[in-house]
Amino acid sequence: MSTNSTNICAHRGDSSRFRENTIVAIKSAIDSGAAVVEIDVRISKDGKVVVIHDPTLERIWGLDRNVSEVNWSEISQLGAGENKVPLLSDVLPLFENSKSVL
């Protein structure tokens, strides 16, 4: 008898229920028991490490500008609450007491 196990990888967090790569999507993936949570990072114009997949802000956030050409102060105004573009430094603490791996 073989013992097979399946591990779930949450691509950009729980992106089927929430905007990808947001705090709420990442928390949901962790709370759902995902073994791995995959995220993406880019660097803003002022050197902040932001959690976003695309090189531009257009597809998810409706702003036709490259992440690398926009300061964090402007990026941080997109969305609301936990449904915003987070900094990597805001995401890392979510994994401190989690069984999920980033």
**Position 100 in a domain:** no
Express each pLDDT in 11-31 by its tens digit: 999 999 999 999 999 999 999
Active site residue 60: no
**Position 42 in a domain:** yes
Q: Where are the alpha helices (DSSP H) in 32-98?
A: 58-61, 72-75, 88-91
**Position 16 in a domain:** yes
Candidate list 38, 41, 49, 53, residue with the active-site label: 53
- CATH code of the domain containing 31: 3.20.20.190
Residue 2 has pLDDT above 60, yes or no: no
Candidate list 11, 12, 19, 27, residue with the active-site label: 11
Stated pTM of the model: 0.89
Contact 91, 98 (CB under 8 A): no
* Domain membership of residue 20 as a residue range: 9-95
Residue 73 backbone dihedrals phi, psi, to 5 degrees: -60, -35
**Position 4 in a domain:** no
**Position 57 in a domain:** yes
Distances (CA, A) of 91 to 4, 32, 41, 51, 62: 31, 17, 11, 8, 23
How many CB atoms are located within 10 Å of the residue 37 CB? 27
Give the N- to C-terminal CA distance of the chain in Å, as an integer: 32
**Position 101 in a domain:** no
Active site residue 53: yes
How far is 8 from 80, CA to CA, in rounded Å? 28
Closest CA to 25 of 81, 99, 97: 81
**Position 68 in a domain:** yes
**Position 39 in a domain:** yes
Count of domains observed in the chain: 1
Residue 1 pLDDT grade (very low, low, confident, very high; cuts 50, 70, 90)? very low
